[in-house]
Amino acid sequence: MREYLLTLCVTAAVSYLLTGPVRKFAIAIGAMPEIRARDVHREPTPRLGGIAMFGGLCAGLLVAAHLPNVGKVFELSDEPRALLSGAALIWLLGVLDDKWGVDALVKLGGQMIAAGVMVMQGLTILWIPVPGVGSVALTSMQGTLLTVALVVITINAVNFVDGLDGLASGMVCIAAAAFFMYAYRIWFGYGLEAAAPATLFAAILMGMCLGFLPHNMHPARIFMGDSGSMLLGLVLAAGAISITGQVDPDALKLFTGSERAAVHTTVPVYIPLLLPLTILMVPVVDLVLAIVRRTWKGQSPFVADRGHLHHRLLQIGHSHSRAVLIMYFWSALIAFGAVAYSINSASVWIVLAIVGLSAFGLGLLLMPRFTPRAPRWAEAFVPPRYRRQQASAPAGTVARTAAQAPSAAGDSEEPREERTPVAAGLRGATAIGGRHPRNW
């Protein structure tokens, strides 16, 4: 565990430290596209955040290769090299798209080529565990087609959900954390070395997201762009392919008594990881709805619009930050709920907890204007909008206090109340989005 934590921390540190210089580089070369009709930000923001993420990926793999235990993955498997090759291709394609723009069909072809490169180096699905049947071996052509389809679906699912500040990086980080827990259990719980590459990929993916997320939280200083979103999707798909298509249920029957019992033991998470519908349930659902919606209108499935799930949350009254947190909540509930259910599927308490949290999440969706208040002891650790004294302040108190405050300069004819921090914040909010700070 310590080596995985070290790899995660190194990846996060490199991604975090590289993001600042990458932002300046993106501004210098003009990688700041104009505001589009479907965008929710108000000012041009630099892209190319995927450059920093790719640097973190390379640093994480380099450090892991020199560790005594995790380094054995590079000796026993070619999957890390396959991941790096595919990631380099998809990252380069994303950089070109962030700077000059690339046609949707060209990007689709590039995604398929990157997946094909990984298949050629051994990162492919060899069999599928089927409940009640056991492991079903796939032919070379079937494994290749299924692997390429999984990579393309995952890449585009992450790319589609990248519509709000911090949304894609946070959701992928949650998915990677749940994926790490599952892979680590298979690796050390059952002693199956075939799960070691997937565990390493999940740790590196978490580091990439955690390092970039502080720069990408609302209001974002830089966007990851396609160079980042497609890279995250490919790394997540590589881990799912590695553990689903490489870990043989025949080995698990040593712990469960039979092959069918082994498949039943892991099926709550095994099959979802095949087309990662559990750890990326929300983005995949958004992807499917977007394709159906655009096809129904007679448009291309690759034409962007403002009908995604996060856009709908904004339309019903949720603020930017709350919409992101709601998406985080549902992603975490589905991902960690599936992992918990796979560990103990006979527990009624797990099912009840999932049902209760689902009801809580539905309540949040129906109360877009509700602003929670932190307890007194926690007010020093939360933003001002969640403190009780701000909510209980009489109307007009702030304005009267500002009008009576003396001017710092003393020679300006500007009204004093407009020069206070509170009034300036209100004026800035109007200029940015026309919303009260409580709804940020």
Q: What is the pLDDT of residues 76-92, one digit of tens each?
A: 888 999 999 999 999 99
pLDDT at residue 45, as a whole number: 84
| Range from 24-33, 61-70, 169-178, 391-400 carrying the lowest mean pLDDT | 391-400
- Residue 127, classed as helix, strand or coil, is strand
Give the residue-averaged pLDDT of 329-335.
83
pLDDT at residue 317, as a whole number: 64
How far is the CA of 63 from the CAs of 19, 105, 209, 401, in angstroms?
20, 36, 18, 56
| Range from 139-148, 154-163, 261-270, 288-297 carrying the lowest mean pLDDT | 261-270
End-to-end CA distance of the chain: 38
Does residue 94 carry a pLDDT above 80?
yes
| Range from 149-163, 247-261, 422-436 carrying the lowest mean pLDDT | 422-436
Does residue 432 carry a pLDDT above 60?
no
Higher local confidence (pLDDT), 424 or 264: 264
The pairs formed by 390-395 with CB atoms below 8 angstroms and a separation of 24 or more are none
Q: What is the pLDDT of residues 22-34, one digit of tens each?
A: 999 999 998 876 6
User: Do 169 and 216 meet the contact criterion of CB atoms below 8 Å apart?
Assistant: yes
Model confidence at 147, in pLDDT bands (50, 70, 90)? very high
- Residue 128, classed as helix, strand or coil, is strand
Does residue 344 carry a pLDDT above 80?
no
Domain ranges of the chain: 2-302, 376-439
User: Is the C-alpha dihedral spanning 298, 304, 309, 315 positive or negative?
Assistant: negative
Report the predicted TM-score, pTM, of the whole model to 2 decimal places: 0.74
pLDDT at residue 433, as a whole number: 43
pLDDT at residue 268, as a whole number: 41
pLDDT at residue 87, as a whole number: 96
Model confidence at 311, in pLDDT bands (50, 70, 90)? low
Q: Rounded to the nearest 5 degrees, what angle is found at the Cα of 173, between the Cα atoms of 263 and 327?
A: 95
Give the residue-averaged pLDDT of 349-364.
79
